Amino acid sequence: MKCLRVRRLNSSILFIGIIAIAVFVAFVLTGCQKKKLAAPGATVSGTYFDTLITITAYDNTPQDVLDGAIDRCAAYEKIFSKTDESSELYAINHRMGGNVEGNTYSIEVSDDMYEVLSCAVKYAKDTELAFNPALGSVISLWDYHSEHPTVPSQTAIDEALKVTDPFVIEISEDGSHTISMPMDGTQLDLGGIAKGYIADELKKYLVKNGCSEAVIMLGGNVYCMGNKNNQGYSVGIQKPFESIGTYVHVLSVKDDSVVTSGIYERYFEENGHIYHHIIDGTTGYPVDNDLASVTVVCSNSMKADILSTALLCMGSEKALEYARRESLVKVILITRDGEFIETNPER
């Protein structure tokens, strides 16, 4: 009897073992099917932040990794979009959620928001407000998206300018990721920094998932990862106000980010005057100096994004002075007269 029970037990163990192996084999097979590799040069794309975003991988990256990268852009839009009513930035700008005590609103923000805001305020100080993440109230007056954009009234600009001090934003340093700001009309606009941050984060995500040869493009923000399997990357510098793809210069880039800000990217004309999308925080009007575009090459795309906007606001003289102080790989200035100025031309 005893012997019989052992034999029955053995056959049950065998049966369970066979099922377990079958389940394992099925799991491995479906897993392998999911890991479909994209052909080198495969591109995924999507439109976020009103910008066409494309990611092209030059190594055999699994397709689901590339798809995951584009999905992340949708998630970042839910954080940094100023217009999406369900975004984190929208909640901050409308003082939703969080706590209000007296005239102070405070809210615990996401890690992404915390990192971007901390960096934005740091560079607002460092660039003496050439880069100002609190210009939201003024920028909203310049509606480049409307069918018939118009120059805002001086009264509206003067009112909006009263609430553009980025240093009213208090950022906790106790690890709680809490930010505080007044219950007034101060509005954040992260359009000059978010795409750089996202490029850096997408790069980290791709590297973590085994992809090291790729190009991430978010409009004027380009991240060249690796060296295109030793073929090298070429990035063209757009000639201002000419048709897209007309270049004044072509850069050879390896493992770096190239970010351009230009007055020709978004603008409207009224009475022969060009009103573009980069705002001088002292006047509330589009920046009016000798520069038409600034390109910054730097391994940190968020820094390149901030500085391409900031240097454009500074004008060529101050911009070159600033570029000399910073450890930037290269800065290219194109003036409104068509002059081409390049730092570190040997690189």
- Residue numbers at the binding site for ligand ADP (CB under 6 A): 131-133, 135, 139, 189, 191-192, 219-220, 261, 265, 277-279, 281, 305, 308-309, 313
DSSP 154-202: HHHHHHHHTT--GGG-EE--SSS-EEEEESSS-----TTTHHHHHHHHH
- Residue list 295-314, contact with Mg ion (CB under 5 A): 305, 308-309
| Residue 219's binding partner out of Mg ion, ligand ADP, none, with CB under 5 to 8 Å set by partner kind | ligand ADP
CB of 65 to ligand ADP, least distance (A): 26
Q: Contact, 339 vs 304, CB < 8 A? A: no
CB of 287 to ligand ADP, least distance (A): 7
Nearer to Mg ion, 61 or 309 (CB): 309
CB of 122 to Mg ion, least distance (A): 15
| Residue 77's binding partner out of Mg ion, ligand ADP, none, with CB under 5 to 8 Å set by partner kind | none
Nearer to ligand ADP, 65 or 319 (CB): 319
CB of 296 to Mg ion, least distance (A): 9
Nearer to Mg ion, 59 or 264 (CB): 264
CB of 277 to ligand ADP, least distance (A): 4
Nearer to ligand ADP, 61 or 260 (CB): 260
C-alpha span between 197 and 242 (Å, rounded): 28
- Residue list 176-205, contact with Mg ion (CB under 5 A): 192
Q: Contact, 336 vs 324, CB < 8 A? A: no
How many other CB atoms are there within 10 angstroms of residue 294's CB atom? Answer: 27
H helices present in the chain, as ranges = 2-34, 63-80, 88-93, 111-126, 136-139, 154-161, 194-208, 301-314, 316-325
Of the candidates 45, 52, 49, 114, the one whose C-alpha atom is nearest the C-alpha of residue 76 is 49
Nearer to Mg ion, 156 or 264 (CB): 264
DSSP 302-344: HHHHHHHHHHHHH-HHHHHHHHHHTT-SEEEEEETT--EEESS
| Residue 112's binding partner out of Mg ion, ligand ADP, none, with CB under 5 to 8 Å set by partner kind | none
Q: Reduce the DSSP state of residue 69 to 3 states and report it.
A: helix
CB of 345 to ligand ADP, least distance (A): 24
Q: Reduce the DSSP state of residue 81 to 3 states and report it.
A: coil
Nearer to ligand ADP, 175 or 245 (CB): 245
Site string for Mg ion, 241-280 (x = CB under 5 A): --------------------x-------------------
CA 21 to chain centre: 46
C-alpha span between 171 and 68 (Å, rounded): 31
Residue with the CB atom nearest Mg ion in the bound state: 309
CB of 119 to Mg ion, least distance (A): 12
Residues in the site for Mg ion, rule: CB under 5 A? Answer: 192, 261, 305, 308-309
